[in-house]
Amino acid sequence: MVLGLFDSGLGGLTVLRAIARRLPAQPVIYFADTARLPYGSCTPVEICRYVREILHWFEGQGVRRVLMACNTSSALALPVVASEYVLEVGGLIAPAARAAARWGRCIGVIATAATVQSRAYTRAIQALTPRAQVWEVACPEFVPLVESGRLMGEEVRSMARRYLAPLVEQRIDTLVYGCTHYPYLDSVIGDLLPASVHRIDPAVAAVAELAAALPPSRRLESRAACHFFVSGDPVRFAHAAYPWLNYYPQVQAVALPPLPAAQTNERAF
């Protein structure tokens, strides 16, 4: 069964990387909605519309299981749209919350503004561990940095130091990367945090749960192919993805089909 992955851009490649390590036999279709990047500044209504369009497209590709490789979509759209589809749709919030609840009691979350405003991580973690303290910090400048390939240097360190300061002040014991772009900045973030702080990548948590649900034989087969699609410039995405994939992927541009009439007037909440 082909797995559909989608994100607004490069961030979902951290999920694809986790799949390649844990589930090399899993065939994947990866969609990057680069024409509408970034999602973090979009409204819930916009996010739900984008996700419906992408899921509708995945259905047309014969995909039957989709993993939202995007925390913003997982936070804002998954609870709303998952029941509208025959597709099996999963996200990143719940697996990451379970991992955070196992590790910490003073938990920091860095995420996009839209994810932070949803308070999805706080609700998910405290549903598992009511006494856990959770602090969420929006880091809106991180995604543009990653998409432009700026991962090191004093500008990045200064920005990360500013975002992390309130979490360091609270003496967190666990940090959740609440956006799939943020693990690309792990070396900088790790240097700015106490060594005792455990850092959680939702991609790793989600793929670990996916692997546990598959028969062992599926996990041991030879490496499967991944097909890449974008809503924006395929050449630009291929060049931007090269450092993370170690090859230039063949990328196809697609125009998402219009939604069925029954879904065009759906509200977000």
Q: What share of the chain is helix, strand, coil (3-state, %, to 5)?
A: 50, 15, 35
Question: Which residue has 């089909």 as its token pair?
Answer: 257
Residue 31 in any domain: the answer is yes
Based on the domain organization, do 192 and 234 belong to the same domain? no
Burial 97-122 (b: 16+ CB within 10 A, else e): bbbbbebbeebbbbbbebbbebebbb
Encoding tokens for residue 232? Answer: 């924006």
Residue 221 in any domain: the answer is yes
168 Cβ neighbours under 8 A, 6+ residues apart: 192, 193, 194
Is the pLDDT at 126 greater than 60? The verdict is yes
Residue 76 in any domain: the answer is yes
Based on the domain organization, do 145 and 121 belong to the same domain? yes
Kindly name the residue from 42, 48, 139, 179 that is annotated as catalytic: 179
Residue 265 in any domain: the answer is no
- Average pLDDT (172-199) is 97
Based on the domain organization, do 79 and 116 belong to the same domain? no
Rg over CA atoms, the chain: 18
Based on the domain organization, do 7 and 30 belong to the same domain? yes
Is the pLDDT at 258 greater than 90? The verdict is no
Based on the domain organization, do 43 and 164 belong to the same domain? no
Based on the domain organization, do 69 and 126 belong to the same domain? no
Based on the domain organization, do 189 and 242 belong to the same domain? no
Encoding tokens for residue 262? Answer: 């029954």
Domain count, the chain: 2
- Average pLDDT (143-158) is 93
DSSP labels, 173-220? SEEEEESTTGGGGHHHHHHHS-TTPEEE-HHHHHHHHHHHHS-HHHHH
Kindly name the residue from 48, 70, 139, 226 that is annotated as catalytic: 70
Residue 258 in any domain: the answer is no
Is the pLDDT at 64 greater than 80? The verdict is yes
Based on the domain organization, do 183 and 235 belong to the same domain? no
Residues 178-191: tens digit of each pLDDT: 999 999 999 999 99
Based on the domain organization, do 227 and 245 belong to the same domain? yes
CATH code of the domain in which 176 resides: 3.40.50.1860
Strands 198-200 and 88-90: unpaired
The whole-number pLDDT of residue 262 equals 58
Instruction: Provide the residue range defining the domain that includes 190.
Output: 101-201
Based on the domain organization, do 157 and 228 belong to the same domain? no
Is 70 considered catalytic here?
yes
Residue 263 in any domain: the answer is no
Q: Over the chain, what is the mean pLDDT?
A: 93
Residue 26 in any domain: the answer is yes
Encoding tokens for residue 22? Answer: 């844990």
The 8-class DSSP code of residue 119 comes to T
**Model pTM score:** 0.91
Based on the domain organization, do 117 and 179 belong to the same domain? yes
Please calculate the CA angle 141-7-213 and round it to the nearest 5 degrees: 125
In order of 25, 52, 62, 243, 267, the CA distances from 59 in angstroms are 21, 11, 5, 30, 21
For the ranges 32-36, 136-140, 145-149, 257-261, which has the lowest average pLDDT? 257-261
Please calculate the CA angle 111-114-118 and round it to the nearest 5 degrees: 95
Based on the domain organization, do 54 and 178 belong to the same domain? no
Residue 178 has phi, psi (to 5 degrees) of -85, 20
Facing residues of 136 across strands? 109
Alpha-carbon span 182 to 40, nearest angstrom = 13
Residue 242 in any domain: the answer is yes
Boundary residue ending a domain (163, 183, 201): 201
The whole-number pLDDT of residue 43 equals 94
- Spatial contact of 9 and 181, defined as CB atoms under 8 Å apart: yes
